[in-house]
Structure 1
Amino acid sequence: MSTTATVAAPARAAAAPRLSALVVARNEAARLPACLVSLAPADEILVVLDRSTDASADIARAQGARVLEGGWELEGARRNAGIAACTGDWVLEVDADERVPPALWDEIRRVIAASAHQYHRVRIDNYVGDRLILHGWGGSFGTTLKPILFRKGAKHWRGQRVHPGLDWTGTEGERLTAHGIRHEVDRDISDMLRRLDRYSSAKAADLLAEGRIGSLPDNLRRCASRIVKCYIGRKGYREGGWGLLIALCAGLFPLLSHLKARLEPERHRPAPPG
């Protein structure tokens, strides 16, 4: 009696997760091209342009990116709009002044293919001009790790103008630290001080909108503690004068925000909606 063997069909391999690269920008025509080139390995690139008046939209489309244009008063709102428009299973959220090196893409693909978690922090290498500054960042003026790799739906920005808070769904997985994103944070000292001015003005508007400008003694203490934390705790002293400058800016950020809200409310109070 003959028998017929039945051979099971091989299991179909699970499809690799799709990854969307998200860039939120405003008038970044000078820095956007290099950023988009570095994002080419993504399955999708989405550029959100907030009230841009330069050639950013044309540059993005020419490099194959989808473009979402609009006007958002709050940073959190514009970033949430970008996340919602992404079609990938995972999102890598970067800024126009950041570059993702080729070696990091292998690490990203490895992590999202196997991760049981909802988000991961990625190493950030901060440059002032051509100088890499490794130590001393903090106090809302810079960071060396950011939670920018996440599953669609896991990350929600809060409604603030500068450094909005985050709400997460799920757990944090391993940190990607073997390779860092190049962040061209400032061109020089003058650029750093202009950034401090912009950030503190936006924060003053947030404080006024939320009705919590605080007291001068509390903000003097915050200023002092941030300077010590960045310069000593985060080893800014290892960067010499650069570390001191970063520590001073980190400490001055809450103090200047408070003083602008208290002394110049008419200049920083948000306009009523509508």
Structure 2
Amino acid sequence: MSETPKSREKTLSCLVVARNEEAMLPDCLASLDFADQLVVVLDRTTDGSKAIAEKAGALVIEGAWESEGARRNTGIDACTGDWILEVDADERATAEVASEVRSHIRSAKNGLYLIPIRNVIDGREVRHGWGAYNGAASAPRLFSKGDKIWGPERVHPSLTTGPKHGSLKHGLIHLVDRDISDMIDRMNRYTDLMARDAVEKGTVPSLGAALRRIVSRGWKSYVARKGYKEGYYGVALAFFAASYSLLIHLKAREIQDRENRS
């Protein structure tokens, strides 16, 4: 009687998209040594990131992309694993994440899975108040090949996905900001890009809607998502969540006025 052949072990690709992240990449890539393949996409990078990625054994793709979605899709296309885990350069996979992901893909249904995100500011893990434009408490990072396509937006692109199946338990460590000044700088960069997207797509939020969101999103961050537990960081997150739509509206109006004058 012949033996039943063993099923093939599922393979895992880890994808990192970066731009001038030589300070962050070594620890990030070292934490992904449980992957069968490392893919690093470098967007208009001028520092030593390429050498760091090559030393880690990664497949390196260099280029220039206007939108976050386009560069991430380029990396996804280059991944050869049955499963793909997306990790940002300022994130770290713990031993618990590595073990859980490898165990999970052996028998998981194809589709998309959330990974918890452990956001760290100035060395302190901030657990509450995330959401809207500030950042996520979890993100759709683990997926089977072909089950995730990013949209064309410059920042926070939309997603087209296969089936969604829930969340893993253990989270990636995200060194999201150094301090409140860094949080402000990030908000300014993101709203610049989102204002351009809004003008191009004709989706500029109205002033009335932006003003209403000051209350609704601030309340959601500080109260519903329990930002009040985080002290001054919770206040900061609520302020940023409340301000995003208004900043996008004002910056978009400025762009439109400039275009009208030209």
TM-score normalised per structure 1: 0.92
Residues 53, 60 of structure 2: 8 Å contact kept? yes
Q: 2:250 aligns with which of 256, 259, 264?
A: 259
- Structure 1 unaligned blocks of 5 or more: 1-7, 270-274
Paired AA for residue 176 in structure 1: L
1:6-155 residue pairs with structure 2 within 5 A?
A: 8-155=1-148
User: Are 1:176 and 2:168 counterparts?
Assistant: yes
Indicate the RMSD between aligned Cα atoms, in angstroms.
Answer: 1.3
Report the equivalent of 1:242.
Answer: 233
* Structure 1 residue 266 displacement after superposition: 6.7
Residues 205, 245 of structure 2: 8 Å contact kept? no
Report the equivalent of 1:206.
Answer: 197
CA distance, structure 1, for counterparts of residue 116 and residue 205 of structure 2: 33
Paired AA for residue 205 in structure 1: R
How many matched pairs?
A: 259
* Structure 1 residue 10 displacement after superposition: 2.2
Provide, for residues 179-199 of structure 1, a one-character-per-residue CA deviation record: whole Å limited to 9, x for no partner.
Answer: 211000001111111000000
Paired AA for residue 84 in structure 1: D
Paired AA for residue 172 in structure 1: K
CA distance, structure 2, for counterparts of residue 154 and residue 233 of structure 1: 31
CA distance, structure 1, for counterparts of residue 68 and residue 109 of structure 2: 29
Residues 114, 168 of structure 2: 8 Å contact kept? yes
CA distance, structure 2, for counterparts of residue 106 and residue 160 of structure 1: 33
CA distance, structure 1, for counterparts of residue 111 and residue 149 of structure 2: 12
TM-score normalised per structure 2: 0.96
CA distance, structure 2, for counterparts of residue 114 and residue 174 of structure 1: 14
Report the equivalent of 2:210.
Answer: 219
Report the equivalent of 1:232.
Answer: 223
Which range is displaced more, 41-50 or 212-221?
212-221
Q: 1:160 aligns with which of 135, 153, 166?
A: 153
For the residue of structure 2 that corresponds to 1:174, the secondary structure is: strand
- Structure 2 unaligned blocks of 5 or more: none
From the CA coordinates, give the structure whose radius of gyration is larger. 1
Paired AA for residue 78 in structure 2: A
Provide, for residues 46-92 of structure 1, a one-character-per-residue CA deviation record: whole Å limited to 9, x for no partner.
Answer: 00011111111111001111100011101111111110111101000
* Structure 1 residue 122 displacement after superposition: 0.6
Provide, for residues 193-250 of structure 1, a one-character-per-residue CA deviation record: whole Å limited to 9, x for no partner.
Answer: 1000000001011011112213111111122211100100000011111111011112
For the residue of structure 2 that corresponds to 1:33, the secondary structure is: helix
Provide, for residues 110-168 of structure 1, a one-character-per-residue CA deviation record: whole Å limited to 9, x for no partner.
Answer: 21111123111011100001010000001121111111000111001110001011011
Residues 139, 251 of structure 1: 8 Å contact kept? no
For the residue of structure 2 that corresponds to 1:163, the secondary structure is: coil
CA distance, structure 2, for counterparts of residue 204 and residue 153 of structure 1: 30
Residues 199, 253 of structure 1: 8 Å contact kept? no
